């Protein structure tokens, strides 16, 4: 809501700077989104009378004028041709500051001095008209400040009105609110007019859709002067409030809406056939609107029609028929209340939002109707020569009356956390238009119908709190005595993220929805449909991810494209899988999703909530290691991403995991593995399949992994193993085995021996080549032994023998050099 301050002052007096006003409103009522300036912010604008006017001798498009400013004549260079000797014009003098901040100076234009500027409507903030200089009528006295007639500058506050306060969509409502904040009075324009026009009841009024239209009023105004313009000050205010001036009748209609917050509509009465019908649109009915578009309507939409055709989409926008035009001399004023939700849905479905629909969709107070109706009528009489009908037609079968809400002071004190004075609370509520009766410890508050948001005690407490001032609320802490903390799973995720960051990976967060290409490029089973968004922002963001991989790969592509030299990313996030409820349960599922209620299927059968949700979320951690993951240093060579880099990370996250070769369409068949914990699949790790890398536009395949969070143990609970203070003995054993023998199996077999002395075993070299027979490889193992006492050579050798024997039995391993 745009609030021009000069207009606001018509209803309420305040002596605050703009900053103070903004603060008062934002700390006690609504957010102020912006402050705009129009016209001349500071300086002198006077009425001038043109004495001479002619072309500039040195410029084709410029003119020069001599202007009398009231006993003083100045020369002014102008860009518009419309002034003439004798014309009255607004002249802004050098030194004045315009709304955009520019300061006007004495200037020389093509050799001629210009001592000021004759102003257009736009420069004065009256309209967007910049075609010529504004010509003032004879009532403006030469030499007088223009501000004596209308403001030459305007400050406009942009209020971000909360949806529960439709009363603030009108200047009067804002004035009432400000008066309440400042504890002062406000005034409403008085309605005084004479009647004498043609009667309204020559037209019919029939409300067919009563449920969508609680109130509908009509009043006729006849004998209007056709084609008139609204007074300058009214046009200026409409413009400052963000609307366009059209003609006197439309301007008066809009002015009243801005003033009261109550939209209205004015029909050219001569075009209305028979009478007004308020009904739902018919199937297939269409309407060509004022904006030139033709809209197909449906029976959910409310329209205003005459006996023959639709005239207005109710509360939203009118059609060309029966609209006010230059020839209009007689009108029917419609002021009505519509069901807010219906207006909202119609406007949303048509994609059509107007000043009127924005107000109507909040659901307005039917009791605002008479004032707005007669305000339009009286302004038409005053400014367009109209004669007001003696009668009105009104459909208002169920009048809304004010209501009473009790307010307990101790309840207010409990919620607000501050002492509340009963009298002050009462005065504050009265300033909002309530009537307050005091009963011991309690107030009985009668709420005016324009405050439909004040229904409950708690609503009144909010009003008291904000008007008294939230700055009065002290800072306290609740006296909690409940145990808090992270759950073990939450702690685990923390540790895991920290660990991955310490291992050199950067934490990324990517979107969980993407294109179907994500799935097809990975070669994932297309038979299993992922959950899909019904209304994605684009087709590129429709499918919910079933793996973190594609988002991370897209990030890797981006990094490569911008020349980032490799790098490692990880993400902790959820993946989604569709498990549609079986056909027989679908209705139950939808009912559950919409109402939270689970319908029993039989006396003891209750479906579980998870199956009714139909989408399963699994938290995972994924990573991508691309290109150079550690650049070369002057004393260290670079590390490039590969299977074992990724595997090393997985080993830190899932201690005790086993790695089993297993095909995945998007992974290198020889450089990938399933990660298992016991017999359960925990995830996978590997180098990306070169073809997949190509499809994603990656220059070389990165190493990738993905694990279910549930299987990760980045910081397993330690279990102490006692040890003795005797030296550890290290022995190497090199064996030759067939190339296919997995080294991991060899280690596992050694471990399975259960040697009481063996405390460590690792592979420190693998060799294939000239030194070993074709098809075989040498695997060098290093063992660490420790016993209860210092080990003898014999004891160690015996254990080493046992190991090599077992390796020979299991893998035909020949000890090298033996």
Q: Residues 469 to 488: which contact other proteins by CB under 8 A? A: 470-471, 473-478, 480-487
Quick one: which segment of 114-122, 209-217, 594-602, 721-729 binds other proteins (CB under 8 A)?
A: 594-602
Q: Per rule CB under 8 A, is residue 640 in the interface with other proteins? A: no
Residue 788: burial class (beta carbons within 10 Å; 0-12, 13-18, 19+) = exposed
Within its chain, how far is the Cα of 134 from the centroid?
42
Residue 79 vs 504, nearer CB to other proteins? 504
What would the two tokens of residue 346 be?
Answer: 């119609």
Helix (H, G, I), strand (E, B) or coil at 558: helix
Residue 445 vs 555, nearer CB to other proteins? 555
Q: Per rule CB under 8 A, is residue 556 in the interface with other proteins? A: yes
List Cβ neighbours of 691 (8 Å cut-off, separation of 6 or more).
Answer: none
Q: How far is the CB of 738 from other proteins (least distance, A)?
A: 37
Q: Residues 302 to 361: which contact other proteins by CB under 8 A? A: 340-341, 344-345, 348, 361
Q: How far is the CB of 26 from other proteins (least distance, A)?
A: 6
What would the two tokens of residue 603 be?
Answer: 């006396």
Q: Residues 356 to 385: which contact other proteins by CB under 8 A? A: 361-362
Among 16, 135, 198, 503, binds other proteins (CB under 8 A): 503
Quick one: which segment of 85-93, 130-138, 411-419, 708-716 binds other proteins (CB under 8 A)?
A: 411-419
Q: Per rule CB under 8 A, is residue 139 in the interface with other proteins? A: no
- CA distances, 107 to each of 52, 55, 77, 103, 296 (Å): 19, 17, 9, 12, 57
Q: How far is the CB of 348 from other proteins (least distance, A)?
A: 6
Among 290, 615, 726, 766, binds other proteins (CB under 8 A): 615
The side-by-side arrangement of strands in the sheet containing 204-207 is 204-207, 275-280, 302-305, 310-313, 317-318
Q: Residues 571 to 590: which contact other proteins by CB under 8 A? A: 571, 573-574, 576, 578, 580, 589-590
Q: What are phi and psi of 722, to 5 degrees?
A: -65, 155
Within 10 angstroms of residue 293's Cβ, the number of other Cβ atoms is: 12
Q: Per rule CB under 8 A, is residue 608 in the interface with other proteins? A: no
Mask of contacts with other proteins, 159-198, x by CB under 8 A? ---xxxx---------------------------------
Handedness of CA 362, 363, 365, 371 (dihedral sign): positive
Q: Per rule CB under 8 A, is residue 532 in the interface with other proteins? A: yes
Q: Per rule CB under 8 A, is residue 501 in the interface with other proteins? A: yes
Q: Per rule CB under 8 A, is residue 670 in the interface with other proteins? A: no
Q: How far is the CB of 490 from other proteins (least distance, A)?
A: 6
Q: How far is Cα 461 from Cα 753, in angstroms, rounded to an integer? A: 77
Q: How far is the CB of 133 from other proteins (least distance, A)?
A: 37
Residue 372 vs 624, nearer CB to other proteins? 624
Residue 226 vs 504, nearer CB to other proteins? 504
List Cβ neighbours of 818 (8 Å cut-off, separation of 6 or more).
Answer: 804
Residue 334 vs 571, nearer CB to other proteins? 571
Q: How far is the CB of 486 from other proteins (least distance, A)?
A: 6
675 within 8 A of 744, measured Cβ to Cβ: no
Among 512, 523, 607, 642, binds other proteins (CB under 8 A): 512
The closest of 568, 480, 580, 465 to 530, measured between CA atoms, is 580
Q: Per rule CB under 8 A, is residue 137 in the interface with other proteins? A: no
Q: Per rule CB under 8 A, is residue 398 in the interface with other proteins? A: no
251 within 8 A of 238, measured Cβ to Cβ: yes
Quick one: which segment of 44-52, 223-231, 380-388, 544-552 binds other proteins (CB under 8 A)?
A: 544-552
What would the two tokens of residue 782 be?
Answer: 């290093």
The closest of 498, 518, 517, 657 to 572, measured between CA atoms, is 498
What would the two tokens of residue 588 be?
Answer: 């139950």
Q: How far is the CB of 31 from other proteins (least distance, A)?
A: 7
Among 72, 296, 498, 762, binds other proteins (CB under 8 A): 498
Q: Per rule CB under 8 A, is residue 634 in the interface with other proteins? A: yes
Q: 206 has which bridge partners?
A: 277
Q: Is 412 left (phi over 0), alpha (psi -120 to 50) or beta?
A: alpha
Q: How far is the CB of 30 from other proteins (least distance, A)?
A: 8
| Kind of pairing between the strands at 331-337 and 317-318 | unpaired
Helix (H, G, I), strand (E, B) or coil at 259: helix
762 within 8 A of 781, measured Cβ to Cβ: yes
Quick one: which segment of 127-135, 326-334, 409-417, 781-789 binds other proteins (CB under 8 A)?
A: 409-417
Among 631, 661, 756, 760, binds other proteins (CB under 8 A): 631
Among 433, 531, 701, 702, binds other proteins (CB under 8 A): 531
Q: Residues 25 to 54: which contact other proteins by CB under 8 A? A: 26-31
Residue 29 vs 256, nearer CB to other proteins? 29
Q: Per rule CB under 8 A, is residue 18 in the interface with other proteins? A: no
Total number of residues that touch other proteins (CB under 8 A)? 108
The closest of 280, 391, 400 to 333, measured between CA atoms, is 391
Question: Within 13 Å, how many C-alpha atoms sit on residue 231's CB side?
Answer: 13
Within 10 angstroms of residue 511's Cβ, the number of other Cβ atoms is: 13
Within its chain, how far is the Cα of 239 from the centroid?
28
Q: How far is the CB of 104 from other proteins (least distance, A)?
A: 25
Q: Per rule CB under 8 A, is residue 537 in the interface with other proteins? A: yes
DSSP state letters, 414-440: HHHSS---HHHHHHHHHHTT-EEEEET
């Amino acid at each position: 809501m745009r609030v021009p301050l000069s207009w606001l002052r018509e209803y309420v007096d305040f002596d605050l700077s703009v900053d103070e006003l903004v603060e008062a409103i934002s700390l006690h009522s609504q957010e102020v989104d912006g402050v705009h300036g129009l016209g001349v912010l500071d300086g002198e604008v006077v009425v001038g009378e043109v004495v001479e006017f002619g072309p500039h001798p040195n410029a084709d498009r410029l003119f020069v004028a001599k202007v009398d400013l009231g006993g003083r004549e100045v020369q002014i260079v102008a860009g518009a041709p419309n002034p003439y000797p004798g014309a009255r014009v607004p002249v802004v003098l050098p030194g004045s500051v315009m709304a955009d901040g520019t300061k006007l100076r004495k200037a020389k234009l093509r050799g001629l001095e210009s001592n000021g500027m004759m102003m257009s409507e736009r420069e004065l903030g009256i309209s967007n008209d910049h075609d010529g200089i504004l010509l003032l009528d004879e009532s403006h006295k030469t030499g007088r400040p223009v501000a004596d007639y209308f403001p030459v500058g305007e400050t406009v506050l942009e209020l971000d009105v909360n949806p529960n306060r439709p009363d603030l969509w009108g200047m009067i409502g804002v004035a009432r609110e400000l008066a309440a904040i400042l504890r002062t009075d406000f005034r409403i324009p008085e309605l005084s007019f004479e009647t004498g026009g043609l009667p309204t009841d020559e037209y019919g009024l029939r409300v067919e859709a009563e449920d969508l239209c609680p109130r509908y009023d009509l009043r006729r105004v006849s004998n209007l002067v056709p084609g008139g313009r609204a007074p300058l000050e009214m046009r200026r205010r409409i413009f400052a409030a963000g609307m366009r001036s059209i003609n006197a009748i439309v301007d008066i209609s809009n002015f009243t809406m801005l003033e009261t917050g109550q939209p209205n509509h004015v029909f050219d009465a001569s075009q209305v056939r028979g009478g007004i019908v308020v009904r739902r649109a018919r199937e297939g009915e269409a309407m060509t609107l004022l904006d030139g578009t033709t809209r197909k309507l449906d029976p959910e939409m409310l329209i205003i029609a005459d006996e023959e055709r639709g005239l207005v989409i109710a509360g939203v926008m009118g059609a060309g028929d029966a609209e006010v035009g230059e020839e209009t001399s007689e009108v029917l004023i419609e002021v009505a209340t519509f069901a807010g939700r219906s207006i909202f849905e119609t406007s949303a479905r048509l994609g059509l939002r107007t000043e009127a629909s924005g107000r109507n969709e909040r659901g307005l107070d039917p009791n605002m109707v008479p004032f707005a109706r007669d305000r339009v009528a009286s302004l038409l009489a005053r400014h367009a020569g109209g004669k007001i009908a003696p009668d009105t037609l009104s459909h208002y079968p169920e009048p809304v009356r004010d209501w009473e809400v009790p307010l307990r002071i101790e309840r207010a004190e409990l919620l607000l956390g501050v002492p509340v004075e009963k009298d002050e609370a009462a005065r504050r509520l009265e300033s909002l238009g309530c009537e307050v009766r005091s009963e011991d410890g309690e107030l009985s508050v009668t709420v005016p119908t324009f405050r439909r948001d004040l229904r409950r005690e708690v609503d009144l407490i909010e009003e008291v709190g904000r008007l008294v001032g939230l700055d009065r609320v002290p800072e306290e802490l609740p006296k909690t005595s409940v145990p808090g903390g992270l759950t073990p799973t939450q702690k685990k995720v923390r540790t895991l993220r920290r660990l991955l960051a310490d291992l050199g990976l950067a934490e990324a967060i990517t979107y969980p929805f993407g294109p179907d290409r994500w799935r097809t490029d990975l070669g994932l089973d297309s038979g299993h449909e992922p959950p899909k968004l019904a209304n994605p922002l684009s087709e590129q963001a429709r499918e919910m991810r079933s793996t973190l991989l594609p988002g991370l790969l897209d990030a890797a592509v981006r990094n490569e494209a911008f020349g980032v030299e490799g790098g490692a990313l990880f993400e902790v996030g959820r993946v989604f899988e569709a498990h549609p409820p079986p056909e027989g349960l679908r209705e139950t599922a939808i009912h559950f999703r919409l109402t939270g209620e689970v319908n029993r299927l039989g006396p003891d059968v209750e479906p579980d909530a998870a199956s009714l949700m139909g989408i399963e979320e699994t938290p995972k951690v994924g990573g991508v290691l691309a290109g150079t993951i550690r650049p070369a240093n002057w004393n260290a060579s670079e590390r490039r991403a590969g299977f074992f880099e990724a595997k090393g990370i997985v080993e830190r996250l899932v201690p005790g995991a086993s790695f089993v070769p297993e095909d995945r369409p998007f992974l290198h068949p020889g450089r990938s593995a399933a990660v298992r914990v016991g017999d359960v699949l925990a995830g996978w790790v590997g180098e990306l399949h070169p073809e997949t890398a190509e499809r994603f536009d990656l220059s070389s395949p990165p190493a990738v992994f993905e694990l279910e969070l549930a299987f990760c143990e980045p910081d397993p609970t330690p279990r102490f193993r006692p040890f003795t203070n005797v030296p550890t003995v290290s022995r190497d054993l090199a064996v030759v085995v067939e190339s296919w023998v997995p080294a991991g199996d060899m280690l596992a077999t050694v471990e399975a021996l259960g040697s009481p002395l063996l405390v460590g075993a690792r592979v420190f070299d693998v060799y294939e080549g000239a030194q070993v027979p074709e098809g075989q490889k040498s695997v060098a193992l290093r063992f660490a032994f420790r016993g209860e006492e210092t080990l003898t050579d014999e004891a160690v050798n015996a254990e080493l023998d046992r190991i090599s024997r077992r390796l020979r039995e299991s893998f035909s391993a020949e000890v090298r050099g033996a």
